[in-house]
Amino acid sequence: MAEPILQTQSLTVTAGSRTLLRGVSLSIHEKQVFGLIGPSGAGKSTLLKCLNRLLELTPALKVSGVVRFHGESIHGPTVDADALRSRIGILFQQPIVFPKSVFQNVVFGVKHLGVIQKSALPEVAEQALREASLWDEVKDRLHQPALRLSVGQQQRLCLARTLASQPEVILMDEPTSALDPKSTEAIEQLIVRLKKTHTIVLVTHNVRQARQLADQLACICLRDGAGEVISQGEPCDVLCSNCAPEIEAYLAGG
Amino acid sequence: MHRKLIHHGFRFFTGLCALACCSVLMTLIWAIVQRGWPAISWRFFTEQILLVGADGGIFYNILGTLILLATTVVVSTPLALGLALLHGVYLQGNRWRSHLTLLIYVLNGVPSILFGIMGFIVFVHYLDWGKSWLSGGILLGLIIVPTVTVALVERIASLPSCYIEAAAGLGLRQSQIIRFVILPQSINGLVTGTLLGLARAAGETAPIMFTATIFAGATVPNAVKESPVLSLPYHIFILAQDSFDPSVSAKIWGTALSLLGIVFLLSLIALPARLKIHEEAHHG
Amino acid sequence: MTRIAIWFFSGVTVLTVLAMALLLLMQSLPVWQHEGFSFATGAKWFYRQQEFGAASMIYGTLVVSIGALVLATPVGIGAAIFTAEFLPARFRLMVKLTIELLAGVPSVVYGLLGILMLRNWIYELLAPFDPLSGDTLFTAAVLLALMILPTIMTLSDDALRSVPATQRHAARGLGLNGTEVVLHVSLPQASRGLFAAVLLGLGRAMGETIAVFLVIGRQDNQWPQSLFSLQPLIESGQTLTSKLGSSETNIAYGNPLHWGAMVGLGVILLVIVTLITWFGAYLQRSDHAS
Q: Domain-by-domain residue ranges, chain B?
A: 40-283
CB contact under 8 A, A85 and C180: no
C1, C7, C9, C241: which to substitute to probe chain B, counting the most B Cβ within 10 Å?
C9
> How many A/B residue pairs have CB atoms within 8 Å?
4
Task: Specify whether the CB–CB gap between C185 and C171 falls below 8 A.
Answer: yes
Residue among A57, A99, A165 minimizing CB distance to C169: A57
One-letter amino acid identity for C104?
G
> How many B/C residue pairs have CB atoms within 8 Å?
263
Confidence of residue C289 (pLDDT cuts 50, 70, 90): very low
Task: Specify whether the CB–CB gap between A68 and A74 falls below 8 A.
Answer: yes
Contacts of C287 in chain A (CB under 8 A): none
Compute the average pLDDT of residues C80-91: 91
Contacts of C101 in chain B (CB under 8 A): 25, 264, 267-268, 271
**Chain C residue whose CA is closest to A50:** C173
- Residue C90: predicted pLDDT: 82
- Residue C85: predicted pLDDT: 93
Compute the average pLDDT of residues B202-223: 89
Check CB contact of A92 with chain C, cutoff 8 Å. Answer: yes
User: Would you give the DSSP letter of residue B53?
Assistant: G
Contacts of B3 in chain A (CB under 8 A): 82, 113-114
Compute the average pLDDT of residues A10-39: 91
Q: Exposed, middle or buried: residue C227 (CB in 10 Å: 0-12, 13-18, 19+)?
A: exposed
One-letter amino acid identity for B205?
T
Q: What separation in angstroms does the CA of B173 have from each of B91, B97, B167, B179?
A: 16, 22, 9, 10
H or E element, residue A109: helix A102-113
Domains and CATH numbers, chain A: 6-95+167-253 (3.40.50.300)
Q: How many residues does chain B have?
A: 284
Contacts of B273 in chain C (CB under 8 A): none
Confidence of residue B243 (pLDDT cuts 50, 70, 90): low
Residue A103: how many other CB atoms lie within 10 Å: 19
CATH 1.10.3720.10 fits B40-283, yes or no: yes
CB contact under 8 A, A114 and B3: yes
**Chain C residue whose CA is closest to A55:** C169
Report the domain count for chain C.
1
- Residue C290: predicted pLDDT: 40
Compute the average pLDDT of residues A193-205: 92
- Residue C287: predicted pLDDT: 57
Angle at B24 between CA B141 and CA B10, to 5 degrees: 120
Q: Which of residues 65-104 of C touch B (CB under 8 A)?
A: 74-79, 81-83, 85-87, 93, 95-102, 104
Residue A143: how many other CB atoms lie within 10 Å: 10
* Model confidence at C256: pLDDT above 50: yes
Compute the average pLDDT of residues A224-241: 84
Task: Specify whether the CB–CB gap between B81 and C9 falls below 8 A.
Answer: yes
Task: Specify whether the CB–CB gap between A88 and A167 falls below 8 A.
Answer: yes
User: Would you give the DSSP letter of residue C47?
Assistant: G
SS3 A217: strand
Distance from CA of C235 to the nearest CA of B (A): 19
Domain limits for position C11: 2-289
Check CB contact of B4 with chain A, cutoff 8 Å. Answer: yes
Residue among C166, C167, C177 minimizing CB distance to A82: C177
SS3 B111: coil
One-letter amino acid identity for A50?
C
> Pairing relation of β-strands A72-73 and A88-91?
unpaired
Contacts of A108 in chain C (CB under 8 A): 171, 174, 184
Contacts of A114 in chain B (CB under 8 A): 3
Check CB contact of A175 with chain C, cutoff 8 Å. Answer: no
Which has the minimum average pLDDT: A153-162, A217-226, B196-205?
A217-226
CB contact under 8 A, B233 and C116: no
* Model confidence at A241: pLDDT above 70: no
* C203 vs B239: CA distance, rounded Å: 28
Task: Specify whether the CB–CB gap between C265 and C57 falls below 8 A.
Answer: yes
Check CB contact of A114 with chain B, cutoff 8 Å. Answer: yes
H or E element, residue A118: none
* C260 vs C229: CA distance, rounded Å: 31
* A114 vs B5: CA distance, rounded Å: 14
For C37-72, the pLDDT digits (tens) are 889 888 888 888 888 989 999 999 999 999 999 999
Confidence of residue B284 (pLDDT cuts 50, 70, 90): low
For C89-120, the pLDDT digits (tens) are 888 888 889 999 999 999 999 999 999 889 99
* A98 vs B22: CA distance, rounded Å: 34
Residue A133: how many other CB atoms lie within 10 Å: 16
Beta bridge partners of A35: A202, A217
Contacts of A113 in chain B (CB under 8 A): 3
Q: DSSP for B61-100?
A: HHHHHHHHHHHHHHHHHHHHHHHHHIIIIITTT-THHHHH
> Pairing relation of β-strands A6-15 and A61-69?
antiparallel
C83, C86, C172, C174: which to substitute to probe chain A, counting the most A Cβ within 10 Å?
C174
Residues of chain B above pLDDT 70, percent:
99
Mean pLDDT, chain C, integer: 91
- Residue A1: predicted pLDDT: 58
Compute the average pLDDT of residues B254-273: 93
* A160 vs B120: CA distance, rounded Å: 67
What's the CATH number where C283 sits?
1.10.3720.10
Q: DSSP for A13-64?
A: EEETTEEEEEEEEEEE-TTSEEEEE--TTSSHHHHHHHHTTGGGGSTTEEEE
What sign does the CA torsion over B133, B137, B139, B143 have? positive
Contacts of C57 in chain B (CB under 8 A): none
Residues of chain A above pLDDT 90, percent:
58
CB contact under 8 A, A96 and C166: yes
Q: DSSP for B226-250?
A: TB-B--HHHHHHHHHHT--SHHHHH
Task: Specify whether the CB–CB gap between B132 and B211 falls below 8 A.
Answer: yes
For A141-189, the pLDDT digits (tens) are 999 999 999 999 999 999 999 999 899 999 999 998 888 888 899 999 9
- Residue B274: predicted pLDDT: 84
Residue among C89, C166, C174 minimizing CB distance to A59: C89
Check CB contact of B95 with chain A, cutoff 8 Å. Answer: no
* A194 vs A200: CA distance, rounded Å: 8
How would you label A17-38 residue by residue, b for 16+ Cβ within 10 Å and e otherwise?
Answer: eebbbbbbebbbbeebbbbbbb
Residue among B21, B110, B115 minimizing CB distance to C273: B110
* Model confidence at C288: pLDDT above 60: no
Contacts of B4 in chain A (CB under 8 A): 80
One-letter amino acid identity for B250?
A
* Model confidence at B171: pLDDT above 70: yes
ipTM of model: 0.92
The phi and psi torsions of B9 (rounded to 5 degrees) equal -60, -45
* B90 vs B76: CA distance, rounded Å: 20
- Residue B158: predicted pLDDT: 83
Check CB contact of B118 with chain C, cutoff 8 Å. Answer: yes
- Residue C221: predicted pLDDT: 83
* C1 vs B2: CA distance, rounded Å: 68
One-letter amino acid identity for B182?
I
H or E element, residue A229: strand A226-233
> Higher pLDDT residue, A2 or A197?
A197
Residue C86 CA neighbour count, 13 Å, CB half: 22
One-letter amino acid identity for A54?
L
CB contact under 8 A, B4 and A80: yes
SS3 C144: helix
Distance from CA of B187 to the nearest CA of C (A): 16
SS3 C168: helix
Contacts of B249 in chain C (CB under 8 A): 116
Check CB contact of B283 with chain A, cutoff 8 Å. Answer: no
Task: Specify whether the CB–CB gap between B123 and C34 falls below 8 A.
Answer: no
Task: Specify whether the CB–CB gap between A88 and A130 falls below 8 A.
Answer: no
Quick one: chain C helix, strand, coil %, rounded to 5? 80, 0, 20
Residue C262: how many other CB atoms lie within 10 Å: 26
Task: Specify whether the CB–CB gap between A210 and A37 falls below 8 A.
Answer: yes
Contacts of C173 in chain A (CB under 8 A): 52, 54, 85, 89-90, 92, 162
User: Would you give the DSSP letter of residue A173?
Assistant: E
- Residue C184: predicted pLDDT: 94
Q: Which of residues 76-95 of A touch B (CB under 8 A)?
A: 80, 82
Contacts of A158 in chain C (CB under 8 A): 170
Residue A113: how many other CB atoms lie within 10 Å: 19
For B33-81, the pLDDT digits (tens) are 999 999 888 888 888 888 777 778 889 999 999 999 999 999 999 999 9
Nearest CA to B117 out of C20, C190, C124 is that of: C20
Task: Specify whether the CB–CB gap between B232 and B262 falls below 8 A.
Answer: yes
One-letter amino acid identity for B251?
K
Q: What separation in angstroms does the CA of C149 have from each of C69, C88, C202?
A: 9, 22, 10
Residue C289 CA neighbour count, 13 Å, CB half: 7
Compute the average pLDDT of residues C153-159: 93
Q: What separation in angstroms does the CA of C7 have from each of A154, B85, C2, C4, C13?
A: 48, 9, 9, 5, 10
